[in-house]
Amino acid sequence: MPTQLPAIKTPLFIIMPVYNEADRYLKEVVTRALEVSEGRLFIYDDRSDDGTPEIAADLGAHVWIRPPDVPGFAEHEGLFRQWGWDSFVQEMKIEPGAWVLAQDADEKFYGAHHLLQLMDQPYWDVLGVTFCHMWNATEYRVDKAWKPNLSSRLFRYAPMGEFAKRRLACGSEHNYVQHAIRSGRVRWQ
């Protein structure tokens, strides 16, 4: 039986890019994301051809599929993420101050109880989140590039900022998140 998550006053939205995730952890990750966010999960799909968007929509996620005139992740990560973000804001009608968790479909998010309790405070705009990048159903990736670590991907929404306009490695959050960190408005677990 799943444990009861604490009630929060400030809503949590989850944004998740996907591409051909149907045969991986999609159902498990989406189901958990929907539970933690109380149904406020937005998925932006990079034109999957394996049924990923249909599975996510059937589970209850809000799903948008990248139009052909927008570059895909492999072509230009920054422009793809910016399109996904703009679509997320439009679809979800998110208000300033709400919390956003930027999560990938192959990541399992740990510490939800603790973080949900911290979200109803006025002191921090970024909370450190621990993710594990999954190799298979029971093993996660640990090497020089990937390890369970604290990430700045839980942050308050603000109607400003943009993703770095880089082809690769533009980050999973808007540039205003880094400003909040530099300003000391972050709590690492």
Calculate the average pLDDT of the chain.
Answer: 83
Mean pLDDT value across residues 5-24: 84
CB 105 within 8 A of CB 50: no
Q: Chain centroid to CA 175: how far?
A: 15
Higher pLDDT: 148 or 165? It is 165
Name the pLDDT band for 187 (thresholds 50, 70, 90): confident
- Residues 181-184: contacts with CB under 8 Å, at least 24 apart: 181/126, 181/152
CB 75 within 8 A of CB 48: no
Higher pLDDT: 103 or 147? It is 103
Calculate what percentage of the chain has a pLDDT beyond 70.
78
CB 98 within 8 A of CB 89: no
Highest average pLDDT, of 33-47, 133-147, 158-172, comes from: 33-47
Model confidence, pTM: 0.86
Q: Chain centroid to CA 18: how far?
A: 10
Token pair 């230009």: residue: 76
Name the pLDDT band for 5 (thresholds 50, 70, 90): low
Provide the pLDDT for residue 140: 61
Higher pLDDT: 159 or 188? It is 159
Mean pLDDT value across residues 131-141: 62
Residue 107 predicted with pLDDT over 50: yes
Beta-carbon contacts of 139 under 8 Å, excluding residues fewer than 6 positions away, are none
Residue 60 predicted with pLDDT over 50: yes
Mean pLDDT value across residues 54-65: 98
Name the pLDDT band for 1 (thresholds 50, 70, 90): very low
